[in-house]
Each structure stands twice: as C-alpha cells, then as structure tokens.
Amino acid sequence: MKRIIIFIKFSILIVTFLVQSINYGQSSYTTTINQVKELLEKNYIFLDKAKETNAHLDKLVQNGTFEGKSPNDFAELLTKELRKITKDKHLRFVYTKSRQASKETKPKFTKNFRRYNVPMLRGFQLHKNNIGYIDLAYFGGSKEHLSKIDLVMKEMERADAIIIDMRRNGGGSPDTVNYLSSYFFDEKLLLNSIYARAHDHTEEMWVAEVSGHKRPKVPVYILTSERTFSGAEDFSYTMQSRGRAIVIGEVTGGGAHPTRYHQIDNSDFGISIPFARTINTITKTNWEGTGVQPDIKMSADLAFDKAKELAITSAKEYSSSAYSPLENILNTVVKNNNSKKYYNDVFTHLKALIKTNMINEGEINNLGYSYLQNEKNHAAIVLFKANTMLFPDSANVYDSYAEALAKSDNKELALINYKKAVATAVQQKDRQLEVFENNLKKFQTQN
C-alpha cells in the first residue's frame, strides 16, 4: 500500500512539473515572443529598431534565456530586453493576471468609479503677489478633464505669473496637453505633429480654441523632476521651445512616443507599443531618450521656491506693463485738461485690457470715480464714456457717465445719459432701477 501511495505522489509531481514546463517554459513563451515580434515590426515607430530588436529576441530564445521563468519574471525580463535595443521607456510587456492572491477578501465596490480615483487636478492656489500655482497629476482624456482645465484657468485669471507643477505628472492624453498649452498662445500656431509609421499618417496639433480667457503673455514657470514623463514632458517641451515658459528642476524621463496596447492572443500577456512619435515644430525633434532639459537645473525639491522667487519679480513686471500705458495716457488727459483728444487712446487700452481679462466694467467704473473724487473730471469723463461703449447693456455705466458730465456742467448730455440709464435698467430688468430713477429726478429738480 505504501508503494502505491508513493507512486501516486511521484506521478502528481511529474504531472505538476510538466504543466509548469508547458506554462512557463520555452515552448509556451516562444509562441508569445513570435507574436511580440510580429506586433513590433508592424507597429513600432522605428522599423529598423523593430527588426534589430527581433533579431536580439531570436538569439535570446535560442539561448534559452526565458526558459523556466514565471509569467511575472518573464514579463519583466522581456521588457528589459526590448528596451536594451530601443531605449524606449514607453515599450512595456506585461503579465495582466497576477499570480499572487489578493489581500482583499472582496473587491472594493468604489474602485469602479472615477470619483474615488486619483484626480487629475491635485490642487491650485493663488499665492501672495498674485502668483498662481497649479498641480496636475496627469492629463486625462475626457471632456470632463478639459472642463477641469477651464476651471483652474478661470481661477488663474487674476494671476500675474503662473507656476505649473509637473514634478509628479506621468503624462496622458495629447489632446488635453494641447488644450492646456493653447491657453498660453493667442496666435493660430502648429505646436506639434504626431507621425504614425504603421499608417503613414501625421496628426497636426494646432493651438486650439478654449472655453476661458487665454493668457498669451502671463509669465509661466514649469516644475519638473526625473518622474516627469510623456505628456507632462510634451507640455514642458512645447512651452519651453516657444519661449512661453521657464522650466525649473530636473531632467525629465525622456518618453516622447504615444503608445497603443495590444493583448497577446490566448494569454494573459499584453504589450504597450509606441506607434508614433512627436515632432516639435520649432526643434524638428523631441525629448525621446534625452528628457526635457531645464532652463534652471536643480533638485526637484527646491524647484518651487526658485520658481516663486522668480515669479514675484516677473509678476510685478507683467502687471506694470499691462496697466502702465493706460495710466500714462490718463495722466496726459489730466495734464492737458482734454478728454476728447485722447478718448480713442484710452478706449483702445481699455479694450486690450478687457480682452486679456485684466480689467472689467466695475473696475473701470471705480477707476473713473477715483479721478472724479480728486476733481480730475476729464479723466473721469473719458473713462465713463468708454465704459458706455464697452458695456452698452449696463444701466450703471450711463448713470456714472451722467454724474461726471453734470459735475463738468455739461447738463444737456448729462440728462441724456441719466434717461438712458433708466431706459436700460427697465430693458434689462435691473434691480437698481429705483436708484437710477431717483438720480434722474434729483438731477431734473436741481436743474
């Protein structure tokens, strides 16, 4: 009986060994490697590198390099060998089914929902001196993620310099990268091209229309680390090459090739193959293998402090360059006591500031009253008049203009504008209608 039991146990061991040999041995992996070779030659962005890699794999198979490896070890080793030739960090072979039992007794229900995953936007803040800060974890590929970009850029409208943190960003959608980049360019520019060899197709990435206000002149600082990769490098490289940002931190990971995933037939293996390459319009190349080279190279941990130091100075310069022309022309109006001669210049400067969201109706109104209260009536009149042209559907602009005209003893034009304020308030169903009506009555009574 003991001999029978020993024989049965020995037989089980033999069968187990044979099964493992089939699952993990050369015969099984050779089929997988052959399919990998076929996919590489058909899809990898550089055909010569694909052929060189395949020749390398043939030698490894002949030498039995992959024999007896577990699926996890096989996947890691094959990825390593693929990269020996290509040097491409986007090229990855994976085992999709973990052999280790999950530590969880049951899967988490919430793992299926995006709201419980890491958000694209880690955070944003407006620091002292109007320094904006944005921290992005990745570039998501849905409309929801574009809306997140719009949201944060809305909050950055007051910023006179913006710091964008790419230090922990591993990449993502090229379209979302292009969308964020487009916020910083006013012209219709071709930023990048993406060429796919398999279909001999080139996709052009032009500056896109955005839902918010563009910031074509605001100073931008981008923080990088060695973990900055793929789409995060794309954003950094594009902004740097166009002179729209100063990159501060460490040399980035060096992955410039968009990737597509392929499942290996009848197996639990898959491979991500870079099928295209990015071509920057300015440099005619990309950051593959070299990474984005910072303008200021330093430890990633110190990059934010350095960026903030530089941003404080550039923010003041940006603000001054935006508002100084308007201030100078208003000083000329005050000096010459002439509102008519300089009206067009004032209007042009205000219109430009409105376009870049540097000033609004209420701020123009407040500015006008600051001149009026200091008895600089001509400057006040030119500002209030411009406001009526810029915001013709606002009852308040006509009321303010009328007040300035009345103080300058231009009663006829003042009456016209008091009446226009009331009429506009009625038309727009303005809650302050009674205030405008009382101002009109008071003026008529006194005059």
Stated pTM of the model: 0.81
Residue 143 has pLDDT above 70, yes or no: yes
Residue 115 has pLDDT above 80, yes or no: no
**According to the 3-state scheme, what is the secondary structure of the chain?**
CHHHHHHHHHHHHHHHHHHHHHHHCHHHHHHHHHHHHHHHHHHCCCHHHHHHHHHHHHHHHHCCCCCCCCHHHHHHHHHHHHHHHHCCCCCEEEECCCCCCCCCCCCCHHHHCHHHCCCCEEEEEEEHHHEEEEEECCECCCHHHHHHHHHHHHHHHHCCEEEEECCCCCCECHHHHHHHHHCCCCCCCEEEEEEECCCCEEEEEECCCCCCCCCCCCCEEEEECCCCCCHHHHHHHHHHHCCCCEEEECCCCCCCCCEEEEECCCCCEEEEEECEEEEECCCCCCCCCCCCCCCEECCHHHHHHHHHHHHHHHHHHHHHHHHHHHHHHHHHHHHHCCCCCCHHHHHHHHHHHHHCCCCCHHHHHHHHHHHHHCCCHHHHHHHHHHHHHHCCCCHHHHHHHHHHHHHCCCHHHHHHHHHHHHHHHHHHCCCCHHHHHHHHHHHHHHC
Average pLDDT (87-94) is 94
Residue 417 has pLDDT above 70, yes or no: yes
Residue 8 has pLDDT above 50, yes or no: no
pLDDT tens per residue, range 257-299:
999 999 998 889 999 999 999 999 999 999 999 999 999 999 9
